[in-house]
Amino acid sequence: MGGLRGDAAIVGIAEFAPVRKPDRLWMGLEGYAELARLALDDAGLKLSDVDAMMTGHVAEAGPMFMPGHLAEYLGIESHFSEIVDLGGAASAGAVLRAAVAIEAGMCETALCIFHTLPRPQNPMGGNQRWGRNWGSPMTEFDYPYGAIGQNYAYAIITNRYAHEYGLTDEQRAKVAVDQRTNATVNPKAVFRTPIDIDDVLNSPMIVDPLRMLEIVMPCFGGGAVVVTSKERAKKAKNRPAYIIGGGENTTHLSVTYDPDMTHTPIKAAADRAWAMAGVKPKDIDLASLYDCYTITVLLTLEDTGFCGKGEAGKFVEAHDMTYKGDFPMNTHGGQLSFGQAGIAGGISHITEAYLQMTGRAGDRQLKRCDTVFVHGNGGLMSEQVSLILRGE
């Protein structure tokens, strides 16, 4: 199979600590500029090295011309500009696109930036409610029945999975508990108080069977990743993390039309990444898996091949998923404890991978972290991107 040769590497990152109550307001472009500054500083590269950008939107740009806005605001010449629109998988998708463009020789250094930061109130008005668009099948055929947002959809997937394979509340709770243990030693995490299984089971029921501590809490934050060529990576400050495998898959938007709720589109994305990288689950030092809900992690463990179909509940019971454990996973606390900064939530899985690979993860540092599996999930288990990173 073709695909990546592994000649592009992550060489720098930036992350804002997620916050529930903001201490300042940002226009979107301002947040991009600050994250770019911090990430380039971390990489030891100059602004003039940057010649590509893979980003989300900002409100002030509107639905068009984001690359023009950003090139002008940052003062760069971008030879490859991508707006990556894959929901929670957008960050992983951005890094994948950066690697593809760099290997194809279209550019040499790409900035991947996402944030959800609080904006000043728009004096010009016009705050359209998100997702209420005329002609959107989801707006017309799901929303009238209260099928709105994400919580209900992941609850429906959970019930179907439990019906087919069996899954206990305690098994799901174990994911939240181990991730919280990781967050207790991450000063940037929003939720750092230790919890146990009973705390999860006693938290309020939101959408049966998912309880409050199994659901991400929205907050503000953002992150950036610098991806560059092998040649330039050698001049960077930190150990390069080469992108040796990547895969992507999108099959639906509404959970109603999910082709198979229990065999997710994750598998096709992960299979491509494994085949390209030539490594196996046993070679992985850290699993950095998108966790909007506990169920998301369980299905990701199965469909990325860390365990077999129907075995995720037993797998999480049998393994210690903390930074001290035999299967380190989401060592930053995952979004469940670190915080989910909207569309930028998924970038924390990449920035944490890079902190671990460069020995900068503080009290949660793994003894060995050379090979990392990153997975991003978007929408209603709909957009999927897998990445495999290897340190030199």
Partner 1 sequence: MPKYRKGTEPVPVPTPISQPFWDAAKQHRLTLQRCANGHMFYYARSHCPKCLSNELTWFDASGKGTIYSYTVARRPTSPEFEQDVPYVIGVIELAEGPRMTSLVVEMDPDAVKIGTPVQVVFDDVSEAIALPYFRPA
**Does residue 17 belong to the site contacting partner 1 (CB under 8 A)?**
no
Contact call for residue 166 and partner 1 (CB under 8 A): no
Site for partner 1 in 200-219 (CB under 8 A): 204-208, 210
Nearer to partner 1, 123 or 135 (CB): 135
- The smaller minimum CB distance to partner 1, of residues 2 and 144, is found at 144
The CA–CA distances, whole Å, from 123 to 22, 276, 291 equal 20, 50, 36
**C-alpha span between 288 and 350 (Å, rounded):** 7
Amino acid at 44: G
Query: Binding mask 234-273 vs partner 1 (x if CB under 8 A, - otherwise)?
Result: --------------------xxxx---x------------
Q: How many residues bind partner 1 (CB under 8 A)?
A: 34
Round to the nearest angstrom and report the end-to-end CA distance of the chain.
23
Which of these ranges, 15-23, 31-39, 150-158, 369-377, lies near partner 1 under the rule CB under 8 A?
150-158
Q: Which residues neighbour 166 within 8 Å (Cβ) at sequence distance 6 or greater? A: 310, 313
Q: Of residues 119, 159, 251, 314, which one binds partner 1 by CB under 8 A? A: 159
Map the footprint of partner 1 across residues 42-61, applying CB under 8 A: none
State the nearest-atom distance from the C-beta of 103 to partner 1, in Å.
33
Query: Is there binding between residue 132 and partner 1 (CB under 8 A)?
Result: yes
Phi, psi torsion values for 237, nearest 5 degrees: -70, -35
Neighbours of 107 (CB within 10 A): 22
Site for partner 1 in 296-315 (CB under 8 A): none
Quote the tokens at residue 178.
């181990």
Pairing state of beta strands 371-378 and 383-391?
antiparallel
Strand 52-55 to strand 109-116: parallel, antiparallel, or no bridges (unpaired)?
Answer: parallel
24 binds partner 1 per the rule CB under 8 A? no
- Of 255 and 369, which has the nearer Cβ to partner 1? 255
Kindly state whether residue 151 participates in binding partner 1, applying the rule CB under 8 A: yes
Partner residues linked to 297 by β-bridges: none
DSSP per residue, 226-240: EEEEHHHHTTSSS--
Residue the block writes with tokens 């569309």? 343
Interaction site with partner 1 (CB under 8 A): 132, 134-135, 137, 139-149, 151-152, 155-157, 159-160, 163, 204-208, 210, 254-257, 261
